[in-house]
């Protein structure tokens, strides 16, 4: 059973391919990982949380389905 605190503790990553943090391996090849999004807004009335990318400002919104108690992306 998902709770509102579970929405606040999600690890959400930006879906923009250009927003990755550069990571180099031992040989100097650079790979990109996804950038973690920060919790931006919590709407207690609707029971939803909005996460925002600190670089491109893309937003993703998550909520709990009241019938199944599962977390879903709006």
| pLDDT tens for each residue of the chain, 74 residues long | 677 778 888 989 898 878 887 778 888 888 777 888 999 988 866 678 999 999 999 999 999 888 888 889 98
What is the pTM for the complete model shown?
0.76
Q: Are 62 and 7 in contact (CB under 8 A)?
A: yes
Q: What contacts 39, CB < 8 A, 6 or more positions away?
A: 8, 49, 50, 51
Burial string for 23-54 (b: 16+ CB within 10 Å, else e) reads eeeeeeeeeeeebebeeeeeeeeeebbbbbbe
């Amino acid at each position: 059973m998902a709770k509102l605190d579970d929405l606040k503790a999600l690890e959400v990553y930006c879906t923009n391919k250009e927003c990755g943090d550069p990571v180099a391996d031992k040989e100097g090849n650079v790979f990109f990982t996804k950038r973690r999004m920060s919790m931006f807004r919590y709407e207690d009335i609707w029971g939803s949380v909005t996460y925002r990318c600190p670089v491109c400002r893309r937003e993703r919104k998550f909520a709990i389905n009241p019938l199944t108690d599962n977390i879903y992306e709006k």
